[in-house]
Structure 1
């Protein structure tokens, strides 16, 4: 053991002794972890994969130092959003230094992240008004710990949302349009958060695109196959992230053609799944009709979450359909019961609220969509069949919960 390593071991022993003296842990022995080290952006420790241009392997040098502490109460994490797992786990019998490997089985890479683990969960019914659901501190309870940790630190609502907007598109000033050449890429990222884009599987362009989303744009990894050739990832339902994506898309609201051009470019390049375009078009129309209704009703946002506030169903329908047909739609009466009450009168106190879409396979998804503000998109084996579960809430004045709940299945 080298002199430097021995000094490190002595200092680590003193640290453990100090920790023991200042804690009241009732554990029966000293085998439990007392110190956790983590190295963020650990992929930067790995040298170039070019075998003809060898570089110093900082990761193996670090492992040489850490392996001598494997019997101590130390746990080390290497964190990365870049998929270089083949380099992180070289063949055990061929390390460049025997000191870089301790005895025993190597720890497999961990891809799972905590989700929906806020101390304020679960959410109980009958405690919130519709307006409460759109407050930043409520939405921050869902999804990654990043959000509710920021909220618990009393971060200003506008600053917190601005931070998430910046992190999502990896730009410090999200309110300014990027260069024209970068706009299509940014639009696809934002649409993916809200619409759950379906990508062509197992194509090089898709693998590179999803790797980039995970590394730089807050996409979540679900699993990694044994081959390590690609990642299984997506955007889970996170209300405050969807709100950030909606506010970032606001810059493009005046030029809808730019959004269509971005989708067309992704379609022609082979990035998007050509068999799922019908559902994508339907989700796009519903989402942008909702956004337009929001901007018409709340034209001057004051920095608070804006698109999560919800709008009357009547206003949503007026934004969805053209003037030629909307009057006839508003005057419609039921054809399955003997009632002369028009659609406009029946649903005058009804609200819709959704900022993004989520995939569901059973009825349990409908119980959470009201709190999270998402629509349910039900997958179907046939392209011609599209099913979207649309929740409509009928609120009496100042109600803390829906007086009646009407669920519509759009086929």
Structure 2
């Protein structure tokens, strides 16, 4: 029995102990185990080079360990673990070269009579400690790699047009002065869209005062300004400010420390006295408006001091500072690697603390003193503006707060004040009120209603008093997407299929986060970090999408589940209710949804999941992990529960959604089949992105319809006599899609759009008004992975989806759709493939009367046979491109792969399960009596009696024969009591046990307007 880790055995061999390591081993001295036995130092056990003596010493070493375990069996597990750590820490953990000796523990066990359970405990303790250390080491490396990768990505050259759009928007705001908070622009967008980087680049055009409120525990980038974070904690905190320790004391000199401590001590006593007297205005913290104004004034003063310190002595004239120069100044570092930006905010915080603790004027802040402070703040800011070169821009200075969501969750100390720290920051920024000043608020997690609230929920009294309209600017959301390196991501005929299936290429698409990180991973002989970080890129994407490092939480987090499914299946969330608006906010804040647009009324924002193949890859991996770890989790069941909970799809949309799911699920299962059976030579793949691999077309079809391969493999083109079988037609053709993208018009019906979609790994959901088809999947015709992507090598799988109770017949062809019309040199033939899904079918199309109990749902897969002539003008033409036509009826495991379908989940999404499908046979008739619908059963029309078909020519002239219910000329009931008595009489008659059908029919002549009982209806025939 061997207890050594396998990796160690491979490295060191079975019995070998490095002679050199014996000479270098350092003995820590004797060790006493839990049994009280003192054992010799480690080096004594290791001495002796002969193999036999080495084995004997190893056995003795095992005996020593086992003696210790035997003695520890009588004590607790914790004590055992602690005692074991004495042996392992001093004998093993210091030198992994001793691990091979542990295989001899089994030999020594016979000498002390230790059972196998004890040996397992030894192994468990060793594995647990080793795994824990390896995990901690790995996590430490990953965190370090992630941070360094992020820093490197931040240094990638900025690309795209978001800076120009933001600058134009800021300029428009600077030119207007409409009302309160009209100069404060929120930027709301999900993580990785480039908010922080764009504003950072704005500093090259406009003089900028940057403040990042990122918490120290947050691993994001850029790093937070800790001094500013501390300043806001001082203002918006439940405990008295004077009790907080000054963070800048650690950096001050000893004399300064003593002085500050004396002041803090005096302030503590004064604050305590004020608290005891109940004076709520005893400190500046009780007046958040004044506190924010004072903080801003100190920030501006520290900046002004920095600018003045760089002036040339007279008579030299110091040139004005440009925005780019100022950004460079802030990034300068001293010999201790401390930036100028850090020093400025340290000085601002220190001055702010002194204002709070020493200035008696703040103890009784009035509106007048508040306005005076605001004027001082504005004056200092004007001095800064005059000292800078702002060029021709109307905007002279921008002050921005990154990660401002931290302010939206903090409240002032005054208990009855419902406003947040963000409200008071906006007040202070608006208080500057100088021409050319614009404030910007941005955050990954900002809920935009906190930043730019609609008119009916504003908290500012000044804003309420000015009345509508609300002058707060609409949040800026229009950042760059697909702006890889400022160049085209792919050029037709230049990229091979093998290349587009790789991780670096996949990362080019979508938000800047992916491609900048991928660019930072390029090999560098002086920097080993990229080689380690490359394997973490997909993991990073998974964590960003799920907002957690625990990959198996999907089933319990509906927002996370929606994010994973929507990323791949192109769900659409319509913000029509308050709940859906809050849901949309959460998806943007936590789960990478893209904010597309916010209307001027700011009541809601339009959000969704754009086509991002790397994010879709991450979603696929997360869903796979949950399916493997949780036997009760199935994507179809999860999707059904999500749709049922949110209820945001029409019936037509549901059919298309189910079709998208079926196709995508088949693709995933086909990839599993490839990984388990195919050789690498027959695959076009990158192991780091397993769900973005190209799948052979026949593998895809055989996975989708695994029970119908005999029919499919022999299928011929429906419009060609003597065409090749479907299986042969699929040869050297591949499909590749890990998500669906939504089309906005019919332009995607072309080979030009097809090769681009293949490169992006997406299938197409056709636009709402597209005729004939609903889904389009590109197919590439390739001899190998070296085939270059271009129009000439593309064909299609065309999908039509029907969600009706009766199978529908459709008519279209490649020619009528114009699929290949953009090809310059048309080949003689290009095979294409059609799948018609009749998913909602519950009965065959016929004109016969339906039986009382509906038959099971039809389930079949058929192919259209070759025909010499067309049956419809839009059908595939005999002289057209070869068309392989598959028709699928039903949506069950009879037609689809068992792993695609999960019980009735897909039928529930389709909405084809009626209330009768969920009821027993006895319950169905009771339901029919409640008239949810009318059918040909006796129960539906039991309230009326039909004639025998013959009628009196003078029937309309004859009087009514319904004696129990007479109607007057003015259509009023002449004798209501008659109806009551008739009803009672009818009840008595209906309680008789029926004997013959004729007798019952005769009795019914005298009973009108009363529902028939179950006994009667059983005998009624129509």
| TM bracket (short chain) | 0.7 to 0.9
Structure 1 residue runs without a partner (length 5+): none
Q: Distance in 2 between matches of 1:115 and 1:353?
A: 22
Q: Please, which moves more after superposition, 300-309 or 257-266?
A: 300-309
Judge conservation of contact 1:184–1:259 (CA < 8 Å) in 2. Answer: no
Change (3 A) 1:4 1:172: closer
- Report deviation, 1:389: 1.0
**What's the counterpart of residue 117 of structure 1?**
483
In structure 2, distance between residues paired with 1:13 and 1:299: 67
Consecutive unaligned residues in structure 2, runs of 5 or more: 1-289, 311-320, 327-387, 522-529, 678-684, 801-1022
Give the distance between the partners of 2:578 and 2:294, measured in 1 at CA.
48
Does the CA-based 8 Å contact 2:399-2:440 persist in structure 1?
yes
Query: Which stretch of structure 1 is more off in the superposition, 384-393 or 302-311?
Result: 384-393
Q: Aligned pair 1:337/2:720, yes or no?
A: yes
1:388 aligns with 2:785: no
Alignment equivalent of 1:353, drawn from 733, 736, 739? 736
The equivalent residue for 1:59 is 422
The Cα shift of 1:70 comes to 4.9
2:560 and 2:591 in contact (8 A); partners too: no
1:408 and 2:797 matched? yes
Mean Cα deviation higher: 220-229 or 18-27: 18-27
- Distance of 2:295 and 2:641 partners within structure 1: 56
Is contact 1:267–1:274 with CA below 8 Å preserved after alignment? Answer: no
After TM superposition, give the deviation of residue 374 of structure 1 in Å.
Answer: 0.6
> What does 1:316-327 correspond to in 2, within 5 Å?
316-323=700-707, 325-327=708-710
Structure 2 distance, partners of 1:268, 1:3, is 53
Q: Report the counterpart of residue 763 of structure 2 in structure 1.
A: 375
Preserved contact between residue 452 and residue 602 of structure 2 (Cα < 8 Å): no
Instruction: Determine if contact 2:481/2:510 at 8 Å carries over to the other structure.
Output: yes
- Once the two structures are TM-superposed, the CA of residue 287 in structure 1 deviates from its matched residue by 0.4
- How far does residue 167 in structure 1 lie from its aligned partner after superposition? 1.3
- Residue 655 of structure 2 corresponds to 278
SS at match of 1:391: strand
Kindly state the Cα deviation for residue 376 of structure 1 after the two structures are TM-superposed. 0.6
- How far, CA to CA, are the matches of 1:3 and 1:219 in structure 2? 38
Instruction: Write the distance in 1 (CA, Å) between the matches of 2:793 and 2:389.
Output: 52
Larger Rg: 2
Distance 1:179 1:263 in 2: 12
- Equivalence for 2:671: 294
Hey, what's the Cα distance between the residues in 2 that align with 1:30 and 1:268? 53
Give the whole-Å Cα distance in 1 for the aligned partners of 2:454 and 2:303: 28
Match of 2:689 in 1: 305
**Over the residues paired in the alignment, what is the CA RMSD in angstroms?**
3.8
Tell me the residue number matched to 2:543: 166
Q: Secondary structure at the match of 2:796?
A: strand
Assess, with a 3 A threshold, how the Cα gap between structure 1 residues 73 and 204 changes in structure 2: closer, same or farther.
closer
- 1:140 deviates by 1.5
Q: Deviations over 1:88-136 (max 9, x none)?
A: 45879984589xx9xxx65332122221112153121122111211222
Match of 1:212 among 573, 583, 586: 586
**Shift of the alpha carbon at 1:153?**
2.1
**What's the CA shift string for 1:153-197, capped at 9, x where partnerless?**
2252321110110111111132xx2285x0665433211110012
Does the aligned pair in 1 maintain the 2:501–2:692 contact within 8 Å?
yes
SS in 2 for 1:241: helix
Structure 1 residue 16: deviation in Å?
6.0
The alpha-carbon deviation at position 334 of structure 1 amounts to 1.8
Alignment correspondent of 1:20: 322
Would the aligned equivalents of 2:495 and 2:788 in 1 still touch at CA under 8 Å? Answer: yes
Asked if 2 retains the 8 angstrom alpha-carbon contact of 1:294 and 1:307, the reply is yes
- Counterparts of 1:338 and 1:179, CA distance in 2: 51
**Following TM superposition, by how much is the alpha carbon of 1:267 offset from its aligned partner in structure 2, in angstroms?**
3.2
Task: Quickly say closer, same or farther: Cα 1:158–1:151, change in 2 above 3 A.
Answer: same
For 1:54-203, list aligned pairs within 5 A: 54-55=417-418, 57-67=420-430, 68=432, 70-71=434-435, 76-85=440-449, 88-89=452-453, 95=460, 106-119=472-485, 121-122=487-488, 123-154=490-521, 156-174=533-551, 177-178=552-553, 182=556, 186-199=560-573, 202-203=576-577
SS in structure 2 opposite 1:76?
A: strand
The answer on whether the counterparts of 2:441 and 2:451 sit within 8 Å (CA) in structure 1 is no
Distance in 2 between residues matched to 1:74 and 1:163, nearest whole Å: 35
Tell me by how many angstroms 1:55 deviates.
Answer: 4.6
The answer as to whether partners of 1:139 and 1:239 remain within 8 angstroms in 2 is yes
Q: What's the CA shift for 1:265?
A: 2.1
> C-alpha distance in 1, partners of 2:391/2:451?
38
What is the CA-CA distance between 1:386 and the residue it aligns to? 5.6
Cα pair distance change 1:205/1:265, threshold 3 Å? farther
Map Cα deviations across residues 264-286 of structure 1 (whole Å, 9 max, x no partner): 32233343414221111101110
Cα distance change of structure 1 residues 187 and 128 upon mapping to structure 2, 3 Å threshold: same
Q: Structure 1: how far apart are the matches of 2:799 and 2:609? A: 23
Q: 1:359–1:378: 8 Å Cα contact kept in structure 2?
A: yes
Provide Cα deviations, 1:335-392, integer angstroms capped at 9, x if missing partner. 323443222222210010001111113344425312211111113369x976101211
Aligned counterparts of 2:428 and 2:575: Cα–Cα separation in 1: 41
Tell me the distance in 2 between the aligned counterparts of 1:116 and 1:21.
28
Contact 2:398/2:437 (8 A) holds in 1:
yes
* Relative contact order, higher structure (CA 8 A, sep 6+): 1
- Which residue does 1:8 correspond to in 2? 299
Q: Could you say if the C-alpha distance between residues 69 and 380 of structure 1 is closer, same or farther in structure 2, counting changes exceeding 3 Å? A: closer
Deviation at residue 79 of structure 1 after TM alignment? 2.6
Query: Cα deviation per residue 1:2-28 (whole Å; 9 max; x = unaligned)?
Result: 776544333333556765397499974
Note the C-alpha offset of 1:309.
1.5
Task: Summarize the Cα distance change of 1:209–1:282 in structure 2 as closer, same or farther, 3 Å threshold.
Answer: same
Q: How far apart are residue 65 of structure 1 and its match?
A: 4.1
Q: CA 1:147–1:316 in 2, change beyond 3 Å: closer, same or farther? A: same
SS of residue in 1 equivalent to 2:565: helix
Matches of 1:22 and 1:200, distance apart in 2:
43
**Which residue of 2 is the match for residue 235 of structure 1?**
609
1:37 is matched with 400
SS at match of 2:775: strand
1:264 equivalenced with 2:640 (yes/no):
yes
Structure with greater helix percent: 2
Equivalent pair of 1:221/1:234 in contact (CA under 8 Å): yes
